[in-house]
Structure 1
Amino acid sequence: SAQSCAVLLDKEKYSTVAANTNCTNYERGSAYLGQAGVNFGNFLKEGATDNLTKTLGIKKLSSPTDYTTGNRGYLTNALCLIGANTFTSSSRCPGASPRTGTNGEIEISLFANIADLIYLSYGVLDNDSNGTISDSESKEFAELNTVGITTSGMGTGLSAYNNNFEVVIGTSHFIANSDLTKCDPYDGNYTDNASSNTPCAVRVLALGTEITEIRPIYKLDDMIDITAGGELNTRVSMLSELTMISTALDSDFDSLGIGSENSIRKQLTFGLSKVDNGAKDNYPTANEACIGVLLFDVMFLLVKNAADNSTTSSELKSENLISTNDLLTAVDSTLSLLPAGASDVIEALPMNSARIVYASSSGYTDSYEEAESSLYEAMKNTRSLGIEDSVTGDGKVTFRELTCVSEN
């Protein structure tokens, strides 16, 4: 009966309840979590949160998609029973049915997601299963081809594209030459050169509004493939799993009305803080830049906002952009935002972003998918590691954050 299932749960008879199909999915899901070590009694033990590997009985996983080793098998059973559709419709849960969506089931799903994120992170990264992800373990997993890459321009073939600017006047976009004396309307290609004799000053008068921003245009001729030619299977698989779990966790929180700033949400996800670190070094000083991510960001920031063949001319206006601060501090500190001899008027104009175009077999292009073959491969491989921003404590784990685990 339902009562006997609840009584058995109180007595921690987890295997009995889990196997009893007469128990509710909520009760069976709770039992699977109990078998996986996810219960209050376990976490109240002294030092429980200091060694999550021991607390959750984490075993070394053969791959990110190893769903059955150790207690992860129980987490899989729980997620396939009461997890979000992200799981029940996936290859992890063949033959599973969608959950009914009661708050009780969602609560169990939420805890299962948190435990699975922890299990995945430590099961893959903590090679000796001692409860600590060391610097060498973190670097071994996230090792990238950073030879020849520096934040002073080494590793990227980035330079000014004919000293051209994109000029934004209100909602209108133009392509201009170096002194803004030629200013042509953007017509879908930022690789064009301005050819009219209409200055930007005349465009300003015609539109009746000031220049909103000027954006220097740079060409990217080549870049080092930071992934060492696409040796990515485990990393991409890890990222895919992290994304699936993080998405489900975010959905569960939202379904229960627990917003990102809710104190309960922050307490529940505290155990993820080592991996959900915002790509920051939070030990010993909070919110410091993570050393492990610095060289990765040289390439990441160049590709995260890249336009592809599906990008429309309207969408292109907001893609292929990089903030000037990121460009100079994280990518290439040797670049100049203005051509030599730029006037005081141009120097005084607002500038927040720069635009990038890519070398192609026939010149330059706005789509990275049309870039020269080796440049395209390097960009594609880097983008496969994720193009999402990293935010501390948001319940989502990115590759950039994984490179910083040992510094937290």
Structure 2
Amino acid sequence: MFANIADLIYLNYGVLDTDSNGTVSPTETRTFTSLSTDNVSSSGGGTSLTPYSRYEVVAGSTSYISNDNLSSCVVYTDNYVVDPATGDGTCALLFAAGSVTEIRPIFKFDNMTDITGGGILTSRTDMVSELTSISTALDGDFSALGISSTNSLRTSLSAGLSKLDNGATAKNSATCTAVSLFDVIYLLVQDPADNSTSSSDLKSKNLLSLTDLTSSVDSSLNASVVSALSSLPMSKARLVYATDSPATTYTDSYEKAESSLYTAMKNIRSLGIETTVKGDGKVSFRELICIGEN
């Protein structure tokens, strides 16, 4: 137990608290994480997303890829980059019959800023893993020794752990400013299709909340949604990835994306894509970013 306590103190103050004043400041957190977010913003800074002028039309269990007025569409088989102009008027008929259950705008993802600065991430990811291991081990140590949750030592350490296992929020559950910029990029890499994704699984990949996309990533994309379709259920958006630069062709697999886009996505995903939950005994990279605000 004492070894775990010593490790926790060292990681918290020996590594993060570089001026040894007993407090991990936002500046010290930024220095450790070394994220290059200066040009990232919720108005499209750091990302290049543009309308594809295509929509995924969902009618029950069947999906179609349609043009932006539903006059021509093709049934989905194994990709979302097929040209809907090769199809027919099925989607218009479905719309007229009230059979469309959801519609999803498709956006082209051309490039993004590699906020990791090139992917030298070992120290960061190792620390996240070690903090999680230590917090889990300490909880087990206390329980095994019968040390109650009200014990002063356990209370003191728990307070320290809560600063780490913070749910990616600031003190008193306020908004963590540091993670807001990270999330602009993070939202785009959470659940992409890769080269091993089957055609059936692809239906649930490359999707993100349309609200998140237009409020947190690029607010200008709101204007691209065709108003005539806005009456239909539209909660999600779909991404396709550029395969070349300048972008002319697209793919559903991020592993087939243009090399710099693929590298940026891979590096950011290596920081961890798991859901962040406050007090769950695990320390994620998003929580590490927020230590200085707790």
Same-fold status (TM-score > 0.5): yes
2:177 maps to 1:177: no
Q: Does structure 2 conserve the Cα–Cα contact (< 8 Å) formed by 1:269 and 1:393?
A: no
> Which residue matches 2:78?
188
Aligned partners of 2:94 and 2:100 also within 8 Å: no
The one-letter code matched in structure 1 to 2:87 is: S
Q: 2: distance between equivalents of 1:316 and 1:117? A: 41
| Kept after mapping to 1: 8 A contact 2:129/2:283 | no
**Aligned equivalents of 1:247 and 1:406: distance in 2?**
22
Residues 70, 89 of structure 2: 8 Å contact kept: no
Whole-Å Cα distance in 1 between the matches of residues 133 and 161 of structure 2?
15
Q: In structure 1, what residue type is equivalent to 2:255?
A: E
Higher relative contact order structure (alpha carbons within 8 Å, sequence separation ≥ 6): 2
SS, match of residue 280 in structure 1: coil
1:221 aligns with 2:107: no
1:128 and 1:216, CA in 2 relative to 1: closer, same or farther beyond 3 A?
A: same
Percent identity (aligned) = 53
> What is residue 24 of structure 2 aligned with on the other side?
133
In structure 2, the partner of 1:104 is none
Structure 2 CA distance for aligned equivalents of residues 332 and 249 of structure 1: 42
Residue matched to 2:166: 277
Question: For each residue in 1:138-186, what CA deviation from the matched residue of structure 2 results, as whole angstroms up to 9, or x when unmatched?
Answer: 111122112322110021111011x111122222222111012223211
Report the equivalent of 1:151: 42
2:121 pairs with 1:232: yes
Task: Determine which of 319, 333, 336 is the counterpart of 2:219.
Answer: 333
Shift, 1:201, TM fit: 4.4
CA positional deviation for 1:379? 0.8
Structure 2 CA distance for aligned equivalents of residues 188 and 247 of structure 1: 42
Q: Please tell me the residue identity of whatever aligns with 2:185.
A: M
- Determine whether 1:324 maps to 2:210: yes
The Cα shift of 1:395 comes to 1.4
Cα distance, 1:193–1:245 mapped onto 2, change above 3 Å: farther
Question: Could you report, residue by residue, the CA deviation over 1:323-367 in whole angstroms, capped at 9, with x for unpaired residues?
Answer: 111111111111126445x32xx2110111111110003711111
Amino acid at match of 2:278: T
Q: Which residue pairs with 1:378 in the alignment?
A: 264
Asked whether 1:293 is paired with 2:179, we answer: yes
2:276–2:286 Cα contact (<8 Å) kept: yes
- Change over 3 Å in CA distance of 1:248–1:140 after alignment to 2: same
Aligned equivalent of 1:58: none
Query: Which stretch of structure 1 is more off in the superposition, 294-303 or 141-150?
Result: 141-150
Residues 83-118 of structure 1 show CA distances to partners (whole Å, capped at 9, x for unaligned) of xxxxxxxxxxxxxxxxxxxxxxxxxxxxx7xx8556
Per the alignment, in what secondary structure is the counterpart of residue 129 of structure 2? helix
**Change in CA separation of 1:236 and 1:198 when aligned onto 2, cut-off 3 Å:** same
Aligned counterpart for 2:280 among listed residues 394, 403, 406:
394
Asked if structure 1 preserves the Cα contact closer than 8 Å seen for 2:164 and 2:291, the reply is yes
Whole-angstrom CA distance in 2 between matches of 1:299 and 1:336: 18
Q: Distance in 2 between matches of 1:358 and 1:311?
A: 15
Letter in 1 for 2:243: S
The CA RMSD over aligned residues, in Å, is 2.9
Q: For 1:197 and 1:399, locate their aligned partners in 2 and report how far apart those are by CA, in whole Å.
A: 47
TM-score for both structures, normalised by structure 2 = 0.85
Larger radius of gyration: 1
Amino acid at match of 1:146: T
Question: In 2, Cα distance between the equivalents of 1:391 and 1:135?
Answer: 21
Distance 1:354 1:155 in 2: 19
How far apart are 1:121 and its partner, in Å?
A: 3.7
Amino acid at match of 1:366: D
Query: What does the per-residue CA deviation read over 1:111-145, in whole Å, with 9 as the maximum and x for residues that have no partner?
Result: x7xx8556534442122444321222111112211
3-state secondary structure, aligned to 1:239: helix
Distance in 2 between residues matched to 1:209 and 1:166, nearest whole Å? 16
In the alignment, structure 2 segments of 5+ residues that lack a partner are none
Number of equivalent positions: 281
Q: Following the alignment from structure 1 to structure 2, what is the Cα–Cα distance between the partners of residues 157 and 225?
A: 12
